[in-house]
Each structure stands twice: as structure tokens, then as C-alpha cells.
């Protein structure tokens, strides 16, 4: 998605450890116009699939997920990373290991928001090692719901998440695909790379 790549080139900062900082339009401050365009692009990509629900993880997945839900006209559920006062019982829970932070976290959603009738689109901000998406898939499996696909805003193709999802035969659509960081610059996957 051209508009997103331009924004990443313009405002993204490449940090040590192969991390792209995008806190002025996605991870802290949010650009609503860009999120709207991202929602429209996810709709274009997944309109042919019978999606009933979007699933993401708090916090940074919520903005793109809500815009996709707006466009596809389906509800959006975000998995929580912390147990809330009102979210205690009847949960689907999965363990997510973060290679970046070297910690395991539990994510959960209330069972009442996901059922065997649901056909689910997962949306997330980043695809790196794929652990967040795998946790969401565990939750979808526990609910006996059906996974329709995965929509990612920014994918880093050099980390193992993409391979993992491809190996499982999951349709994964990423709006920006980064193949490398070179001298502090972002190198996107080119059409000719595919
Ligand atoms: P994984 O889910 O793909 O395995 O991700 P990983 O454990 O490697 O990353 C942990 C967190 O860091 C996730 O956010 C993920 O979205 C984010 N992340 C991964 N690579 C990058 C990157 O290059 N840039 C930025 N900005 N974030 C990256 P999180 O901890 O769940 O945080 P949040 O959703 O609350 O923001
Ligand atoms: Na995230
Ligand atoms: Na994040």
C-alpha cells in the first residue's frame, strides 16, 4: 500500500535490533485518515470472505482492526493482556511469548464474544515472529471458530512469522512488507521480489 509505505519512509525511525518505530501514526499517536485508508484496503482484500468478526490484541492492533471492522461491517474484539476486574470468568486464554521482550504473557477474551459460528479475520499492527497471531489462533481454535485470514499493517519478512503462517496454509495479507533495514533505511519488498 503506497500511502503506508510513504508514511513509513517519512515518519518511521529504524532503531537497533531491527525495530521500526512508528509511534507518530500507529503505536502512540494515531493518524485517523491513514487508519481509515488501511481499513478500506483490508476490506478490499478480504471482501470475498464471509467474515463475521475481527480479532486483535490490545493496544496497537485496535486502531487498524476497528477501521477494518467499520468497512467490513463486523464487530471487533480485542484480546486483553491484563485481567480486568470485569473479565474474570469464562475466558479463552492463550500464552504469547515475546522474543523481543523475552517474556510470556497471557492474552484472553471473554467466551461470549467468540463462538463456533464465527469466521474470523485477525488484524494486527506488526508481524514479526508471529507469536501474537499464534496466540489468537489458539483462542479461535478453543472457540471452534473458523479462521478466514490474517491482515497485518507492517510485516517484517525477515522474521519468522510469515513462514509460520504460510506453513499453516493461512491467508496472510500485509499492507507494507519490509525485507530489511539497511543503514537506517527501510527496504520494502518489491513487486519483482515475489
Ligand atoms: P510477534 O507477535 O510477531 O511475535 O512480535 P514480537 O513478540 O517480536 O513483538 C512484541 C511486540 O513488539 C508486539 O507489540 C509487536 O507488535 C511489536 N513489534 C514487533 N516488531 C516491531 C517493530 O519493528 N516495531 C514496532 N513498533 N513494534 C514491533 P506489543 O508488545 O503487543 O505491543 P502493543 O500492541 O501494545 O503496542
Ligand atoms: Na501488536
Ligand atoms: Na506494538
Is the whole model's pTM more than 0.90, yes or no?
yes
* CATH annotation of 2-187: 3.40.50.2020
Position 83 confidence tier, pLDDT thresholds 50, 70, 90: confident
Parse the chain into domains and list their residue ranges: 2-187
| Average pLDDT value for the chain | 95
Tell whether the model's pLDDT for residue 87 goes beyond 80.
no
Tell whether the model's pLDDT for residue 112 goes beyond 90.
yes
Cβ-count burial of 123 within 10 angstroms (0-12 exposed, 13-18 middle, 19+ buried)? buried
Inter-axis angle of helices 2-11 and 32-46, to 10 degrees?
140
Position 101 confidence tier, pLDDT thresholds 50, 70, 90: confident
pLDDT in tens, 27-81: 999 999 999 999 999 999 999 999 999 999 999 999 999 999 999 999 999 999 9
Distance 22 CA to ligand 3 centre (A): 9
Distance 91 CA to ligand 2 centre (A): 20
pLDDT at 86: 67
DSSP 81: S
Share of the chain above pLDDT 70, in %: 97
Tell whether the model's pLDDT for residue 23 goes beyond 80.
yes
Tell whether the model's pLDDT for residue 24 goes beyond 80.
yes
Instruction: Give the residue-averaged pLDDT of 124-152.
Output: 98
Measured distance CA(193)–CA(163) in Å, rounded: 16
Tell me if 157 sits within 8 A of 189, measured CB to CB. yes
- The H or E element spanning position 162 is helix 161-167
> Residue 180 is placed in which grid cell?
530489511
Nearest CA owner, ligand 1 atom 20: 128
Tell whether the model's pLDDT for residue 161 goes beyond 90.
yes
Annotated binding site: 20, 27, 128-132, 156
Pocket of ligand 1 (CB under 6 A): 19-22, 27, 57, 59-61, 98-100, 125-132, 156, 161
Tell whether the model's pLDDT for residue 85 goes beyond 70.
no
Distance 98 CA to ligand 1 centre (A): 8
Interface confidence (ipTM) of the complex? 0.91
pLDDT at 82: 83
Three-state SS annotation for 21-75: ECCCCCCCCCCHHHHHHHHHHHHHHHCCCCCCEEEEECCCCHHHHHHHHHHHCCC
Amino acid at each position: 500500500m503506497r500511502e503506508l509505505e510513504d508514511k513509513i519512509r517519512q515518519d518511521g525511525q529504524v532503531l537497533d535490533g531491527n525495530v521500526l518505530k512508528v509511534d507518530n501514526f500507529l503505536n502512540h499517536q494515531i493518524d485517523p485518515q491513514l487508519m481509515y485508508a488501511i481499513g478500506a484496503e483490508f476490506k478490499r482484500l478480504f471482501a470475498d470472505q464471509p467474515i463475521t468478526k475481527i480479532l486483535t490484541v490490545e493496544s496497537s492492533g485496535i486502531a487498524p482492526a476497528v477501521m477494518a471492522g467499520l468497512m467490513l461491517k463486523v464487530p471487533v474484539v480485542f484480546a486483553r493482556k491484563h485481567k480486568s476486574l470485569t473479565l474474570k470468568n469464562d475466558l479463552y486464554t492463550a500464552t504469547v511469548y515475546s522474543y523481543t521482550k523475552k517474556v510470556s504473557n497471557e492474552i484472553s477474551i471473554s467466551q461470549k464474544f467468540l463462538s463456533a459460528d464465527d469466521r474470523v479475520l485477525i488484524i494486527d499492527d506488526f508481524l514479526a515472529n508471529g507469536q501474537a497471531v499464534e496466540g489468537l489462533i489458539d483462542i479461535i481454535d478453543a472457540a471452534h471458530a473458523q479462521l478466514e485470514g490474517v491482515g497485518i499493517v507492517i510485516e517484517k519478512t525477515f522474521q519468522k512469522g510469515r513462514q509460520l503462517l504460510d506453513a499453516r496454509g493461512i491467508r496472510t495479507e500485509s499492507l507494507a512488507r519490509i525485507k530489511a533495514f539497511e543503514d537506517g533505511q527501510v527496504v520494502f519488498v518489491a513487486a519483482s521480489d515475489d
